Amino acid sequence: MLKVLDPAPAAASGTRARQRSLGRVDLSVSRQGGATRVARLSEAGASRLRLPRAVADPLEAVIINTGGGMACGDRYSVSIDAGARSDVVVTTPAAERVYRSDGAEAVLDVRLAAACGACLAWLPQETILYDRARLRRRFDAELAADAALLVFEALVLGRAASGESMKEGAVEDRWRIRRDGRLVYADTLRLDGDIAALSKRPAVLGGAAALATLLYVAPDAEARLDEARDALSGSRSTAGASAWNGMLAVRILASSVADLRHDGMRLIEALTSRPLPRVWRS
């Protein structure tokens, strides 16, 4: 694990500087010989990437945080490039944890790119925010006109299994999607301060403890709206789906992570017509 010292806290308070964790994964895949293969892979710091099968369609890539979670001041980045006609699914082996902070933010930057005819699925397992956690996440994607991108991101406020809710803290989740260089989707979630009070507002989370966004951007996205709604029928959570301009968007609010995972898994499998990555079921 790579650790770097941040001298700012020590200079301000006279206390010993904390160690900060850095992690980076850069993956590029291409279609070769009828299957998707790794073209380039770079890892640094606390981030690692594992491939259950080195040659496959889709190619499954599992990002591992050897640090065991994200603490205040940690910085991680992920870059995935899917070459023409490649098919890749990126996931994580378990939920990511963002620990309590005394002020500094944990930062995660994700950059995805999909070339002509490529299929790219970004399917990490949920991110759990401890009480007083602070997270800033940036998500940017650049797509060719006929590429397909499926994204599922889930946030859980607090650790229900430990009887903890997220009372205070901050989270900023910024999404920007471009197709053929033109911005087609922009969304930012920002909660700061009294999270317990904010999450109870009907226009915010309506008391939900877990939330997720699924976004599908592809030439057939609008035609998949009925499939998405059928998959959500009888769901354990509150969910809504809409489609426009070559995109399908679904929001899910749930009282528990179990309900969120149940409905999210059904939805993903319905849209992809294939099983979820094995790590989701382990």
φ/ψ (deg, to 5) at 269? -65, -35
φ/ψ (deg, to 5) at 100? -55, 140
| 225-232 helix and 257-272 helix, angle to the nearest 10 degrees | 150
Assess contact for 75 and 47: CB atoms under 8 A: no
Count the alpha carbons within 13 Å of 235 in the hemisphere toward its beta carbon: 28
Strands 19-32 and 35-45 turn out to be antiparallel
Q: How far apart are CA 142 and CA 165, in angstroms?
A: 36
Residue whose entry in the numeric block shows the structure tokens 């009828």:
34
Question: Cis before residue 58, ω within 30 degrees of 0?
Answer: yes
Which pTM was predicted? 0.91
Nearest to 250 by CA among 263, 237, 239, 234: 239
Please list the helix, strand and coil fractions of the chain in percent, rounded to the nearest 5, in that order: 15, 50, 30
Quote the tokens at residue 70: 């994200």
DSSP string, 167-223: -EEEEEEEEEEEETTEEEEEEEEEEEEEHHHHHHSTTTTTT-SEEEEEEEESTTTGG
Q: Per residue in 139-164, pLDDT tens?
A: 999 999 999 999 999 999 999 877 88
| pLDDT computed for residue 282 by the predictor | 72
Q: How far apart are CA 166 and CA 226, in angstroms?
A: 35
- What is the arithmetic mean of pLDDT over 166-175? 95
What is the residue range of 25's domain? Answer: 3-281
Q: How far apart are CA 246 and CA 216, in angstroms?
A: 8
| pLDDT computed for residue 102 by the predictor | 86
Amino acid identity at 176: R
| pLDDT computed for residue 161 by the predictor | 76
Beta bridge partners of 135: 106, 171
Angle at 148 between CA 64 and CA 236, to 5 degrees: 70
pLDDT-derived band at 200 (thresholds 50, 70, 90) equals very high
Alpha-carbon separation of residue 89 from 36, 56, 153 (angstroms): 11, 10, 14
Beta bridge partners of 100: 133
Q: Per residue in 57-103, pLDDT tens?
A: 899 999 999 989 999 899 999 999 999 999 999 999 999 999 999 88
Nearest to 92 by CA among 219, 251, 279, 255: 279
> What is the chain's mean pLDDT, rounded?
91
Overall domain count for the chain: 1
Angle at 88 between CA 239 and CA 26, to 5 degrees: 105
